[in-house]
Chain A
């Protein structure tokens, strides 16, 4: 078992003919993900990667022809909101947006619309997700994680790779690793993932990697205290970040005294979560 993606995932790649789209499609195929279609308006009817994946002009046409049930977006930030709307209107229930730099007001409209249609979005500005040995939907390097019983959820990209790699080095593996992204307004949040991991029979423990900005970690702490039976280990990045400065991620900012790492650590520890001092400490806290 796993969450969100597995062997039954039939993936549509929006923006498949671009540099990133093409490169990562190749990587996902090599991992074993069923990439069934791609879109690029104007290039419908073509095939990419030596005839492995058909290209369509629209999501609607791609879904009708291939039965795609998940989409991943690699288009530029300017066009990403439209790509999300298109996928949702084509009836795709789960959309992953890798694109960084989407305007926040666009995201507010996207979230409102998707919530009304009950479509799940992961991201934007995220590395996607990986169910080791089953499906890779995104850009997480496939070789840094092995299958196991730990659910991983994170706001970061490369920091998550560090953690997966540290787990692998001691022989620990993941059920699914989900990167929810570093933007202030996104699709899937910590609580969504914690709740799915709680319900997933194969997941026995959960690692949650947070960072400064917002109050999602504090809310997650409340959820853990009231709803979760499985142990959670955490790490929060940004102990040394100065207030008022955006630390790379659009959402990583301490504003008006709120969103500090210290507050988040305190809330998590109060909820019985073991919080690591640095990422390489996580495997020992899971034992």
Chain B
């Protein structure tokens, strides 16, 4: 789950990391009020869950409250990478001397958290990693020991941070580490962390990703999810415990198991079709889940055919067939459907669907070919 900049920075502040004064606004009038309260120059920043906001013109400086209102009006009418801007953060502008990058992420290959820092902050770290990898300092953390003080010092030395900032930088590293640990983040990033002309450090921007699998112990974070920024169908699918991702094709796919769902998409493409979605109904899916999955697939008007591919293990094919029948009665789809049932109770499942006017297939390749043909017909 992605958190907005303003949410991430509020969390950082709780862990003692200095952030600019500011608040979030949903209208230009509110933005003006916040700017008046803050006084002086402000930065108006679009709050959307994509990168590259600055380049798109979604982050702008305003010298007065009136200008803040004008800028907020423009930004609130923008779309950035297809996402409409619904909120802006109005922050006091900072006097920047230097920009630093500081972040923690999970190093999958090392199976450990890794601190990354660079004296070249402000730009995307992926870009630095590509062009100047030697400019990024990496320090792996033992997950059982946590961040040690000497490691924070190693990072400061590694990015040539002047000595007078080491103590404050250490505090910020420890704060970021605790935020990352205690929120079960998969990424906690300050970019940029700036050295102010006033000779102290401040987190001007923040980004956090939280592990969906850990949300059970963070009800407060779970509430921060911004469903406005998600695909409606993906939100609906999550409600039913389905894993769904919309794609651009016209063949809807309903499959049990993530690997098999990906494979089904791939094989549709291999035989000349385009998959409309990834959909995993999961293990042991019953009739209600299957019906919900079918409604979600059919809510996409591009879908010209549906392919059901179920390899019964824990999931029983007769249960899936019952779900299909429930959904058929309810949704009354007019598009062709190809069904392949193999494994546990496949025979019973096929019998249940005998009168449902569905195209049946034996093998995966056969099912893919038939659905591609059906979508073209």
Chain A residues within CB distance 8 Å of chain B: 20, 77-78, 101-109, 111-113, 127, 139-141, 144, 154-162, 165, 182, 184-185, 209, 211-212, 214-215, 219, 235, 237-242, 245, 247-252, 256, 261, 277-280
Does B235 belong to the interface (CB within 8 Å)?
Answer: no
Partner of A101, one of B106, B113, B213, B344: B213
User: Can you offer 25 A-B residue contacts whose CB atoms are under 8 A?
Assistant: A77-B213, A104-B186, A105-B181, A105-B211, A109-B143, A112-B111, A141-B343, A156-B258, A157-B260, A158-B256, A159-B257, A160-B259, A161-B311, A161-B343, A185-B106, A239-B269, A241-B278, A245-B245, A247-B261, A248-B258, A248-B280, A249-B259, A256-B129, A278-B263, A279-B263
Chain B residues within CB distance 8 Å of chain A: 106, 108-109, 111-113, 126, 129, 142-144, 181, 184, 186, 211-214, 216-217, 243, 245, 247, 255-263, 265-270, 275, 278, 280, 283, 311-314, 342-344, 363-365
Contacts of A156 in B (CB 8 A): 257-260
Q: For chain B, what secondary structure do more than half of its interface residues adopt (helix, strand, loop), or is it mixed?
A: mixed
Partner of A158, one of B111, B144, B259: B259
Known: A105-B184, A156-B260, A161-B313. A112 touches B142 (CB 8 A): yes
Partner of A240, one of B186, B265, B343, B365: B265
Q: For chain A, what secondary structure do more than half of its interface residues adopt (helix, strand, loop), or is it mixed?
A: loop
- Besides A112-B142, A240-B265, 10 other A-B contacts (C-beta < 8 A): A104-B186, A108-B113, A127-B313, A157-B283, A158-B256, A165-B343, A235-B263, A237-B266, A240-B266, A248-B262
Contacts of B314 in A (CB 8 A): 20, 139
Establish whether residues A108 and B270, one from each chain, have CB atoms under 8 Å apart when the complex forms: no
Closest 9 CB pairs of A and B: A156-B259, A248-B258, A158-B257, A159-B259, A103-B214, A108-B143, A237-B262, A158-B260, A248-B280
What is the CA–CA distance of A268 and B191 in the complex, to the nearest angstrom? 37
Contacts of A209 in B (CB 8 A): 259
Establish whether residues A141 and B259, one from each chain, have CB atoms under 8 Å apart when the complex forms: no
Nearest to A24 among chain B residues (CB) is B314
Closest approach, in angstroms, between the C-beta of B293 and any C-beta of chain A?
13
Nearest to A77 among chain B residues (CB) is B213
Closest approach, in angstroms, between the C-beta of A273 and any C-beta of chain B?
18
What is the CA–CA distance of A40 and B34 in the complex, to the nearest angstrom? 56
Nearest to B275 among chain A residues (CB) is A240
Establish whether residues A184 and B262, one from each chain, have CB atoms under 8 Å apart when the complex forms: no
Establish whether residues B258 and A278, one from each chain, have CB atoms under 8 Å apart when the complex forms: no
Establish whether residues A241 and B144, one from each chain, have CB atoms under 8 Å apart when the complex forms: no
What is the CA–CA distance of A212 and B280 in the complex, to the nearest angstrom? 16
Contacts of B257 in A (CB 8 A): 156-159, 248
Nearest to B249 among chain A residues (CB) is A240
What is the CA–CA distance of A103 and B186 in the complex, to the nearest angstrom? 10
- Most A Cβ at <10 Å: residue of B184, B247, B260: B260
Contacts of B260 in A (CB 8 A): 156-159, 162, 237
What is the CA–CA distance of A168 and B96 in the complex, to the nearest angstrom? 67
What is the CA–CA distance of A160 and B245 in the complex, to the nearest angstrom? 22
What is the CA–CA distance of A212 and B344 in the complex, to the nearest angstrom? 28
- Most A Cβ at <10 Å: residue of B186, B211, B365: B211
What is the CA–CA distance of A247 and B278 in the complex, to the nearest angstrom? 7
What is the CA–CA distance of A256 and B209 in the complex, to the nearest angstrom? 15
Establish whether residues A240 and B269, one from each chain, have CB atoms under 8 Å apart when the complex forms: yes
Establish whether residues B245 and A78, one from each chain, have CB atoms under 8 Å apart when the complex forms: no
Closest approach, in angstroms, between the C-beta of A243 and any C-beta of chain B?
12
What is the CA–CA distance of A249 and B181 in the complex, to the nearest angstrom? 22
Contacts of B255 in A (CB 8 A): 158
Establish whether residues A162 and B311, one from each chain, have CB atoms under 8 Å apart when the complex forms: yes
Contacts of B263 in A (CB 8 A): 159, 162, 235, 237, 278-279
Contacts of A237 in B (CB 8 A): 259-260, 262-263, 266
What is the CA–CA distance of A222 and B270 in the complex, to the nearest angstrom? 28
Establish whether residues B143 and A141, one from each chain, have CB atoms under 8 Å apart when the complex forms: no
Closest approach, in angstroms, between the C-beta of A268 and any C-beta of chain B?
16
Establish whether residues B259 and A182, one from each chain, have CB atoms under 8 Å apart when the complex forms: yes
Closest approach, in angstroms, between the C-beta of B11 and any C-beta of chain A?
16
Establish whether residues B313 and A280, one from each chain, have CB atoms under 8 Å apart when the complex forms: no
Partner of A278, one of B108, B211, B266: B266
Establish whether residues B108 and A248, one from each chain, have CB atoms under 8 Å apart when the complex forms: no
- Most B Cβ at <10 Å: residue of A108, A215, A238, A279: A108
Closest approach, in angstroms, between the C-beta of A47 and any C-beta of chain B?
24
Partner of B313, one of A20, A158, A214, A252: A158
Establish whether residues B262 and A212, one from each chain, have CB atoms under 8 Å apart when the complex forms: yes
